[in-house]
Structure formats: structure tokens, C-alpha cells
Structure 1
Amino acid sequence: MKKILYSFIISVISIFVLNKIVYQEIPEKDTKEQLAEIQRYKHPVKSISMESSDNSDLKIFDSILKDNKVLILGENTHMDGSTSEAKSRLIKYLHENMNYNVVLYEAGQYDTWIMNEEMKDHKLKTSADSIGGLGLFEFWWNAKEAQPLIRYYQKTKTSATPIEVGGFDIQFSGGTLAFKRGKLLKDFLSRNNINIKTFPIFNKRIDELPHFIYKKYVNKVLKGNQKNEFLQELTKLEQAVLKLDKTPENMMYARYFNDIKNNITKNWKYKPGSMPSMQFRDSLMARNLIHQIDSVYKDKKVIVWCANIHSFAEGYSKEYLPLGSYIRNKYGKSSYIIDFSSYAQRNETGSISDRPGKFAIENIFHKTKTPYFFLNLRNIPESSFLKKEFVSTINQRIDMKRNWSRSFDGIFYIDTNTVLTPITK
């Protein structure tokens, strides 16, 4: 009985000590010092609206990005409406003042190419308010916060300095393109005298390609060795296209067949969201992006639009090197990464949610009482706590402790973010 009592007492003491360690308050002195340091280095941003006529608050980027070639703009989640607005305003400023004429999205390489072509020539007769759906995932075009930027892209097409919009992902992204894929592929192969009937599985399933990322569907329609045969057909189609003249269209279709094969392979081989799946996708996104930067848009400044987690310049884990790490390794200091973070989120009903845990730096940011500000981590002394490990919710609102200055160069802070507002049709 005494042994049980002693064990119980030891357990209670252990729990008490553990709680003191895990849930200890940050000393008030440290909080004040951190707040003072953030106040010293923060650069207030007056507005996130593209309609803002006073751009004096963005002039800071004239010096920060003076020698920049690749600017990566992250986002905490794809549903952050205020972040979409802030990125849109920044893109407009950089286009009009710093000669950034290319924006590449974490979206299908082929889909965004079709979208960009349609913005120029309108051969598909897509309406102006739906044109973004040819290339982008819905959250990047079918929202009130996103539409001003889509309209701006289209407006620039008739100017002396049009914005070229593209992508680098291996995934299918354009929902509006879904029912046009098969016809576009058939038309391309026919124009170039490539006999689609010599690729029997592809020919039969050409209108079902987006379904092939689902293993259950594939296992139902492809039997025996047909899965391998289908992948081999995609490889042969790519090789057939590569034998054509090296026109921009032909090269894009060759890369499209390669992306289709890799996208399907990823979904057949890896568990969705797993680190091996992320590694496979990011390595290929990096390959596509570097090709776009070095070949398609050589000698041009490029803006990259993606999620924060893909932007990180440091390895996320032993299994996963994000896209940003390849870009930093390739372009060094001529690449600059800005990630976005917030204290909380206001949802459709107006209520506030997703506040950070009490150790997160976003609590200190909130205490500055500044709705929007920017921190340039590159110019902050190495002795600063901002150059050491600290907790942040900058990765999908998860409290994580890392040396974040190794993952990105700047933080764009939006105190209370909003969810995207879908456009009702």
C-alpha cells in the first residue's frame, strides 16, 4: 500500500514539474525587450489594398530588392484573404516601379501557360472573370480578394510592359480547363502529325486524366500491367514532341507530358501530404521553376507565389527539402523570400479564431498594435533574438520553434487576417 502511495505522490510531483516546464510564462522582462526590439526594426505598412495611391510605405523594397532576381512570396494558408490582398498590392508596386514583369505560381506549368496565352489572344473565348480558372487553383482566382490582381494581369497585356503569368507545379490546377484538356491535347497531336491511336491507353482515357491521381479509380480502370504501359506511353509522347521544332508551344507540351507522368507517379507511389510526397513534388517544382527562370524568362526579374512551407530556404526535415532551398542554393543572395504571418483570423461570421499559443512571436507582434508591418531579417544584427530560435505560427498556424531567419529573409505581418470571400455565381 505504501509503495502505491509513494508512486502516486511521485507521479503528481512529476506532472506538476512537467507543467511548470512546459507551461511556464515568458518572463515579463524578456517580453518587454523583445517588443522593444520588434518596434525598433519593424517597418509599418499603411495599407494592403491595390487601390492605395500612396506607395511611400513600399519604398523600402526599392533598396531591399535592388539586386534581386527571384522574389518568393509565401502565404501561411491558401485561404488567407488579407495575405492575397497584400501580395497583390506588392506585385502591382513591383511591376510599376521595379521592372518585375513575371509572376509564377505554385500551379500547373501547362495550365498557367494556357491561361497566359488566353489573356493575350482570347482564342478559347473565356470570360474575363473566369480566365484565372484556366490556370490557377480556385482560391487564387475565384475570390473577391483575388479578382483585382487577375484584372490587373489582363490590363497589363495591352501595355508596353505586360506581366507574363506562369506556373511550375506538376499538378492539374485549372478547374475551368478540366473539360478542355482532352480536346487541346488531341488538337496539338493532330497538328503535329503524332498518331494518338499508337498510344491506345492514353487515347482511350484522354478525357479522364485528372481522375488518374486517385489510386482507387486507376485500379478500377487499368488492369494487369496497364499502369506501367500507360506511364510508358506518356514517356513516348514526351519523346515524340521533343523531336519537333523547339517552339515555345512544343516545348511546353513536352514538359506537360512529363508533368502528367510525374503527377500521376507521385499520387500512386506516396501517401498524400507525407514528407516523401512533399520531397518528390518540391524537387520537381524546383526543376520546373529553375527552367522557367533560366530559359523562358532569362534576364527578367521573377516573382514566385507559393505557400510558406514551400518557400523555406532551409530543409524542413531530413526527408524534405522545400522548393525555396533549391532556389536559394541556385541563386543565393539574389533571391529573397518573404513569408506572411498573422496573430489571428477573422472568419465569415466576424468572429476571431486561430490565435497562437502563448510562446509564439505573433503575440509580441500583436502587442505592437500595428495592423501591418514588414521585418527585413537580413539587416537585423546576428545578436538579435530574431536571428535565433523562436516559436512562430508562420507554418500553417502550427506553433513551431526554429531558427526562422534561416528559412526566409523577411516577415510580412498582418495582425488579423481574413478568410477568402468566394465569388457567388
Structure 2
Amino acid sequence: MKKILYVFIISVIALFVLNKIVYQEVPDKNIKEQLSEIERYKHPVKNISMDYRDNSDLKIFDSILKNNKILILGENTHMDGSTFEAKSRLIRYLHENLNYNVVLYEAGQYDTWIMNEEMNSHKLRTSADSIGGLGLFEFWWNAKETQPLIRYYQKTKTSGTPIEIGGFDIQFSGTILASKRGKLLKDFLSSNNVHINNFPIFSKHINELNNFIHRKYVNRVLKGNQKNELLQEISKLEQTVLRLDKTPENIMYARYFHDIKDNMTKNWKYKPGSMPSMQFRDSLMARNLIHQIDSVYKDKKIIVWCANIHSFAERYSRDYLPLGSYIRNKYGTSSYIIDFSSYAQRNETGSISDKPGKFAIENIFHKTKTPYFFLNLRNIPESSFLKKEFVSTINQKIDMKKNWSRSFDGIFYIDINKTLTPIKK
């Protein structure tokens, strides 16, 4: 009986302590001080529409990016429609005013190259409203919030300062490209007298490469040692292409074969979304991105489009170093990272969801009653609470406490984001 009583008393105490922890309030004094600091340092942005033409609110970037070579633009999730609009407006401004003529996506290195080639030449005769699907994941082209930017890319191709589109991911990303992937590979190999029949497993499955990223599928189709044999064939194809003349096309196809092998390895070896999988992918995305920066677009200013988590300049965990860390380590302060955050999101029905926990800084941002603003963390004194640990939902809307100023240089805040609006076809 005494044991039961002791257990009951301990449980009551534990519940009381937990209740105090969970429901404790943020002191009013702290809120006022933090709000005052944010009001002091925030730079209001008037509008996020790409068509908004009074750019006086974006002039702040003229000085911030004066000596910049690489600008990384993150996003909290891939469904944040308002973030895509804001990024599109920034890209247009940076292209027209600050000579940024290259945009590289967290999308397939080869797929985005094909998309860019099609925008230049139209050899594949892809329609203007589907051309983004050759290179990009669905959410980055087939939405009302992203189509204006795709049209802008195409418009610049006939100007004196065209925007070049590229990518650095090892993954297949072009949804429209999926059905063309095998034929384009066969045509390339044939035109260079590379006999595909010398690679029997690859030749047999060349039209189903998109399915080979799925472990269950490949385990059902390939038997015995055939998985390793397939990877060996892809490596031999890469080496064969590397012996060809060093034209931009040949170099890209060699890198494409390398990416195909790495993509299959990642999906066969690691659990999707795990830290080892993220580490493997980010390290290879960094390799590809650095190649693009140093070799393909050596003397160009470059915009990098990716998710917030990949942009972080500081180690995320013991076994995951994000893409942004590699870029910061190599290019230092000539790279600038802007990540996007919001207080909440409005869905298709108009209701508000995804509000942060009560300790998140997004609550203080919301109290400014400013729909859009930018914080340049590089310019804020070290004594500021913004340069110390604070809770934010800037990583996939998860409440996390970190010294965020070590992970990125600026915060673009959108008070109420909106869900991406897919274009139905």
C-alpha cells in the first residue's frame, strides 16, 4: 500500500513540475526587450509580388551584397507559396540591378542542364508552361506562385543578359524529363560511338532508371550480384565519356553518370531522410555546386535555391554537415545565406495553421505587425539576443533552440505564408 502511495505522490509531483515547464509564460519584460530590438533592426519589405516595381525596399541588398559572389536563398518547406513569390521577386531584382545571372537549384545537375538547353534552343519542343518540368521538382515549377519566375527565365533568354539555370543535386528531379531520360542517354551514346550493348544490365533497364531509386523495386528486378554489376557498368560509362573531347555536353554527361551511380547508392544504402542519407547527399551536392561555381560559372554571381536545412553554415548534428557549411568553409563571407521563416500558414480553405510554440521568436516577429521584413544578422551587435541562442521554427517549422546567426546571415520573414497552389492540368 505504501508503495502505491509513494508512486502516486511522485506522479503528482512529476505532473506538477511538467505543467510548470510546459505552461510557464515568457516574461513580459523579455518580450518587450526582444520586440524593441527587432523593431530597431528589421527592414520592412513592401510586397513580395514579382510584378511589384517599386524596388526602394530592396535597395538594402545593394550594400549587403556589394562584395558577394554566392547568395543562398533557403525555404522552410517546399510548400511555402509566399516564400516562392518572395524569392522570385528577389531574383528579378538581383538580376536586373546587381548582375546575378545564374540560378542553381537543389535539383538534378543534368536535369536542370537539359532544361536550360531547352530554354536556349527548344530542340525538344517543350511547351513554355511545361519547360520547368524538364529540370525541376513539381513544387518549383507547376504552381501559380512559381510560373511567373519560369516565364521570366525564358524571357531573359532573348535579352542581352540571359539567366543561366543549373542544378547541383544527384537526384532525378525533372518530372517532364522522366519519359525522355532513356532516349536522351541512348542518343548521346550513339552519337559518340559508345556501344550500349557493351553494358548489358544498363542497356536492358535504361528506360526505367527513375524506378531504380526505389530499393524494393530494384531488389525485385535485379538478382544476385546484378546491383553491383550495374553500378560498375555506370562507372565504366562515366570513364568512357571522360575520354571524349572536353565539350560542355560531354563533361555534363560524364557527371550525369556519376550522379546516377551516387543517387542509386544513396537510395539503396541509407534510410530516406536519415542523417547518414542527408550527409551523403549534401556532401555530393557540395561537390557539384563547387564545380559549377569554380568551373562552369567562374566569373559569375550566383544565386543558390535550396531548402533552409541544406543552407545552414554550421554543423547540424554529429553526423550531418549541411551543404551551406561546405560553401561557407570554401568561400567565406563572399557567400551570404538568407533563410525564410513565418509565424503561420494559410491553407486552401483560408484557415491558419502551423503556429509556432510560445517560445519561438516568430511570436515576437508576429507582434511587429509587419507582413514582410528582413533582418541582416551580420550587422547586428554581438550583444544582441539575436546573436545568441533562441528558439525558432526556421527549420521545417520545428521549434529548435540554437545560435541561429551561425547558420545563416539573414532572415526574410513572412508573417502569414500561404500554401503552394498547384496548377491543375
Q: TM-score, normalised by structure 1?
A: 0.99
Question: Which residue is equivalent to 2:212?
Answer: 212
Render the CA deviation track for 1:255-278: whole Å, top value 9, x for unaligned.
000000000000000000000000
Question: Which residue is equivalent to 1:87?
Answer: 87
What's the offset of the Cα at 1:386?
0.5
Matched letter for residue 131 of structure 1: I
Distance between the aligned counterparts of 2:22 and 2:406, measured in 1? 25
What's the offset of the Cα at 1:4?
2.7
What's the RMSD between the two structures over aligned residues?
Answer: 0.7
Question: Which residue is equivalent to 1:338?
Answer: 338
Question: Which residue is equivalent to 1:281?
Answer: 281
Distance between the aligned counterparts of 1:127 and 1:288, measured in 2? 29
Distance between the aligned counterparts of 1:7 and 1:216, measured in 2? 48
Question: Which residue is equivalent to 2:62?
Answer: 62
What's the offset of the Cα at 1:284?
0.1
What's the offset of the Cα at 1:424?
1.7
Matched letter for residue 239 of structure 1: Q
Matched letter for residue 189 of structure 2: L
Distance between the aligned counterparts of 1:237 and 1:14, measured in 2? 63
Question: Which residue is equivalent to 1:118?
Answer: 118
Question: Which residue is equivalent to 2:420?
Answer: 420
* Equivalent residues in 2 for 1:167-206, closer than 5 Å: 167-206=167-206
Question: Which residue is equivalent to 2:47?
Answer: 47
| 3-state SS in 1 of match to 2:237 | helix
* Equivalent residues in 2 for 1:5-404, closer than 5 Å: 5-404=5-404
What's the offset of the Cα at 1:6?
3.4
What's the offset of the Cα at 1:230?
0.2
Distance between the aligned counterparts of 2:163 and 2:225, measured in 1? 45
What's the offset of the Cα at 1:20?
1.1
Which runs of 5 or more residues in structure 2 are unaligned?
none
Matched letter for residue 49 of structure 2: S
| 3-state SS in 2 of match to 1:412 | strand
What's the offset of the Cα at 1:398?
0.5
Distance between the aligned counterparts of 1:219 and 1:18, measured in 2? 47
Percent identical among aligned pairs is 86
**Equivalent residues, number:** 425
Distance between the aligned counterparts of 2:232 and 2:207, measured in 1? 18
Distance between the aligned counterparts of 1:203 and 1:18, measured in 2? 61
Matched letter for residue 6 of structure 2: Y
Distance between the aligned counterparts of 2:224 and 2:326, measured in 1? 38
Render the CA deviation track for 1:305-340: whole Å, top value 9, x for unaligned.
000000000011000000000000000000000000
Distance between the aligned counterparts of 1:77 and 1:251, measured in 2? 33
What's the offset of the Cα at 1:3?
4.1
Distance between the aligned counterparts of 1:156 and 1:11, measured in 2? 67
Render the CA deviation track for 1:231-279: whole Å, top value 9, x for unaligned.
0000000000000000000000000000000000000000000000000
Render the CA deviation track for 1:397-422: whole Å, top value 9, x for unaligned.
00011110000000000000001111
Render the CA deviation track for 1:65-108: whole Å, top value 9, x for unaligned.
00001000000000100000000000000000000000000000
Render the CA deviation track for 1:14-65: whole Å, top value 9, x for unaligned.
2212321343111000000000100000000000001111000000000000
Distance between the aligned counterparts of 1:307 and 1:202, measured in 2? 32
Matched letter for residue 136 of structure 2: L
Render the CA deviation track for 1:135-174: whole Å, top value 9, x for unaligned.
0000000000000000000000000000000000000000
Distance between the aligned counterparts of 1:6 and 1:171, measured in 2? 57
Matched letter for residue 279 of structure 1: Q
Matched letter for residue 227 of structure 2: K
Distance between the aligned counterparts of 2:13 and 2:187, measured in 1? 74
| 3-state SS in 2 of match to 1:277 | helix
What's the offset of the Cα at 1:215?
1.1
| 3-state SS in 2 of match to 1:115 | helix
Which runs of 5 or more residues in structure 1 are unaligned?
none
Matched letter for residue 74 of structure 2: G
Distance between the aligned counterparts of 1:276 and 1:227, measured in 2? 21
| 3-state SS in 1 of match to 2:278 | helix
| 3-state SS in 1 of match to 2:298 | coil
Matched letter for residue 369 of structure 2: K
Matched letter for residue 253 of structure 2: Y
Distance between the aligned counterparts of 1:363 and 1:328, measured in 2? 30
